[in-house]
């Protein structure tokens, strides 16, 4: 592989890691690698296929775009859907909202926030909203 190819891949990996939903520590933890490995991927672009697939899954960036720079960056771009999640608007409402979204995301990843628990929290929030209408 040429240095130009690796440098271009490094730029794509850097974008995915920095703009994706997880920070470098979380990516490293999810993939079972050291944080310095993620840092090296961003700097050098040299990454094995399994970790590249993992980065794609964790960041929402398409594997083919990360590997070769071809096609849409994300699946939402491929589908013609806005790349911005509705959660982005919620997170921008206040630092407290952003922390709530971050907490929900983390608890979901580590499988503490189960579908049943999420349903209970949703019902509680809906009840609070309904009480405010009265």
Say what the pLDDT of residue 34 is. Answer: 96
Q: What is the pLDDT of residues 81-117, one digit of tens each?
A: 444 566 677 777 788 887 888 788 878 888 888 889 9
Q: What is the pTM of this model?
A: 0.57
Parse the chain into domains and list their residue ranges. Answer: 3-78, 86-133
Q: How far is CA 111 from CA 91, 104, 116, 122, in A?
A: 21, 10, 12, 17
Of 2.30.30.170, 1.10.260.40, 3.40.50.2300, 3.30.420.40, which CATH number belongs to 3-78?
A: 1.10.260.40
Q: Say if CB 110 and CB 102 are below 8 A apart.
A: no
């Amino acid at each position: 592989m040429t240095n130009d190819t690796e440098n271009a891949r490094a730029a794509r990996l850097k974008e995915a890691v920095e703009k994706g939903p997880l920070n470098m520590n979380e990516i490293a933890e999810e993939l079972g690698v050291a944080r310095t490995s993620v840092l090296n991927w961003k700097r050098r672009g040299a990454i094995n296929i399994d970790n590249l697939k993992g980065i794609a899954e964790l960041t929402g960036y398409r594997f083919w775009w990360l590997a070769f720079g071809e096609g849409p960056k994300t699946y939402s771009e491929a589908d013609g859907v806005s790349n911005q999640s509705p959660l982005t608007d919620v997170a921008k409402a206040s630092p407290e909202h952003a922390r709530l979204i971050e907490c929900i995301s983390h608890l979901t990843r580590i499988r503490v926030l189960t579908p049943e628990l999420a349903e209970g929290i949703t019902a509680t929030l809906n009840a609070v909203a309904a009480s405010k209408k009265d």
